[in-house]
Each structure stands twice: as structure tokens, then as C-alpha cells.
């Protein structure tokens, strides 16, 4: 994992066309802006984790029936 320190208005560029910009910092919260090609899906990590848990639960239900 690469760990970077950025200040407000600074950016990190990932590959071709993906830009992560720090928009603001308030206490322990960081507001970021993402620019990426429209074809690229961007999903919050907690939503992916929730979906994986749901798939695991559904798999267990199918096995027990």
C-alpha cells in the first residue's frame, strides 16, 4: 500500500485519467473529489463489503436447503 500525505487542493494522479483531489479537511474527515473515465465504476469500500457479506449469506442459505 502506498501512503501519501496531501494538503487541501493537492492531487494524486493514478494511471490515465484518474485524479484524486483533496477538497477539504475538517477534524478527522477528509473530503475528496474523484475524476475518472465514465466507463470506470467507483464504489465505496463499505458497500462492496456489504455486498460480499450478502453473497456469503445467500450461499450459506442455498447450501442448507
Q: What's the pLDDT score for residue 2?
A: 93
Confidence (pTM) = 0.71
Q: What's the pLDDT score for residue 56?
A: 77
- DSSP-H helix ranges across the chain: 45-64
| Residue 5 falls inside a structural domain | no
CA distance 36 to 17: 6
Tens of pLDDT along the chain (65 residues) come to: 999 999 999 999 999 899 999 999 999 999 999 999 999 999 998 998 888 887 777 776 666 65
- Residue 24 domain boundaries: 11-64
Q: Residue 60 corresponds to which cell in the numbers above?
A: 450459506
| Residue 26 falls inside a structural domain | yes
- Identify which of 38, 2, 33 has the alpha carbon closest to the alpha carbon of residue 17: 38
**Overall number of domains in the chain:** 1
The answer to whether the beta carbons of residues 9 and 15 sit under 8 Å apart is no
The answer to whether the beta carbons of residues 37 and 17 sit under 8 Å apart is yes
| Residue 27 falls inside a structural domain | yes
| Residue 1 falls inside a structural domain | no
| Residue 3 falls inside a structural domain | no
Amino acid at each position: 500500500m502506498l501512503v501519501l500525505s496531501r494538503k487541501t487542493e493537492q492531487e494524486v494522479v493514478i494511471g490515465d485519467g484518474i485524479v484524486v483531489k483533496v477538497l477539504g479537511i475538517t477534524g478527522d474527515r477528509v473530503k475528496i473529489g474523484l475524476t475518472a473515465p465514465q466507463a470506470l465504476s467507483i464504489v465505496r469500500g463499505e458497500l462492496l463489503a456489504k455486498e460480499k457479506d450478502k453473497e456469503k449469506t445467500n450461499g450459506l442459505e442455498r447450501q442448507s436447503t
